[in-house]
Amino acid sequence: MIELQEISKTYRTDFWAKEFWPLNKVSFRVEEGGLVGFLGANGAGKTTAIKIIMRFIRPREGKVVFNPLLGKDFKSIFGKIGYIPERPYFYPHLTGREFVHYMGALNGVKPSIINDRIKHWSERFLIEYALDRKLSGFSKGMLQRIGFVAALIHDPLLLILDEPISGLDPIGRKEIKDCLKELHRSGKTIFFTSHIVSDVEEICDKVVVLEKGKLLYQGAIDQLIEENIRPNYVIRLADYEQFALPAYVQNFEKGKGEVPVEKREEYLAAAISSGCKIVSVQQNRPSLEQIIYEIRPSENQDRD
């Protein structure tokens, strides 16, 4: 749906300062119909990349290519994109309903269709009770919900969301994640940034990871985890006090230890013959967050 090709961006704080590279030759693709998480620590370059995709700023080098399904000119393309920035601005003197009507009108949606979609999405995001209040009285969570309604009012093909879950309470986060999964199942392409790795792992099938302005990984989450899984099993025993623990068992504590794949059967047989009871046998599967931390480049790695 969108493809970044060798995107670089530089800034200077003043004439004498060294150039800062928030993005350095970054290339990745978001396929049609994907639900893709965009990960990276604060300052990794995620928001800069989003601003370049949305044409708020221009790259120093490279280009962004849009799928022809979105249109042939930028007016058509951005008319099929729903966007929520990291720090959205809402006109405080407008009510929620007036704001969404305004956003729908900007996208050329008929008033009758706007009304139908406001009803549908406000109920879905549990914000219908506040539609006629002024936005100045909305909480952060309420503003994020009305932002989602506005982003969906023109029925976009592609959703680009910058930290859409940040700052929400646990219930609000679950509601937004459930809705993102529903939108994906309905055929929407979704690309959203987050620094909360567990949220991305829960709902996405693919991920793009930035580290200090460079692409660290793009592809399937399962593939990233499988490629970096340690080949061992975590086995928990009961009645292990008299068991002579083999030397190949690692991190053994309170009956639980890590056993290499090739030693699993040998270990289980030895434990059973010693009178131990097998409580559980589970392949060691690190989290996406652990893997990303382990594959990060060293702190002193220089830019090209």
Domain boundaries, the chain: 2-226, 230-284
Give the Cα separation of 24 and 216 in Å (integer): 11
Give the Cα separation of 262 and 217 in Å (integer): 30
The band of 226, judged by pLDDT with boundaries at 50, 70 and 90, is: confident
Task: Give pLDDT tens digits for 49-80.
Answer: 999 999 999 999 999 999 998 988 888 899 99
Give the Cα separation of 257 and 291 in Å (integer): 20
Tell me 156's DSSP state: -
pLDDT at 301: 46
Beta-ladder partners of 132:
none
Q: Which amino acid is at 80?
A: K
Q: Who wins on pLDDT, 281 or 285?
A: 281
The band of 303, judged by pLDDT with boundaries at 50, 70 and 90, is: very low
Residue 21 has pLDDT above 90, yes or no: no
User: How would you class 14 by CB atoms within 10 Å of its CB: exposed for 0-12, middle for 13-18, buried for 19 or more?
Assistant: exposed
Give the Cα separation of 78 and 94 in Å (integer): 24
Q: Helix, strand, or coil here: 10?
A: strand
The band of 297, judged by pLDDT with boundaries at 50, 70 and 90, is: low
Residues 6+ apart with CB under 8 A from 206: 31, 34, 35, 36, 37, 218, 219, 220, 221
For tokens 């970044």, the residue is 4
Task: Give pLDDT tens digits for 146-199.
Answer: 999 999 999 999 999 988 887 777 888 888 888 899 999 999 999 998 877 888
pLDDT at 163: 86
- Mean per-residue pLDDT, 74-99: 91
Beta-ladder partners of 283:
233
- Mean per-residue pLDDT, 204-226: 86
Average pLDDT of every residue of the chain = 87
Q: Which amino acid is at 272?
A: I
Residues 6+ apart with CB under 8 A from 78: 54, 55
Q: Taking the complete model, does pTM exceed 0.85, yes or no?
A: no
pLDDT at 138: 92
Token readout for 87 is: 């720090």
Residues 246/275, Cβ–Cβ less than 8 Å = no
CB atoms within 10 A of CB 220: 13
Q: Who wins on pLDDT, 19 or 111?
A: 111
Domain 2-226 has CATH 3.40.50.300: yes
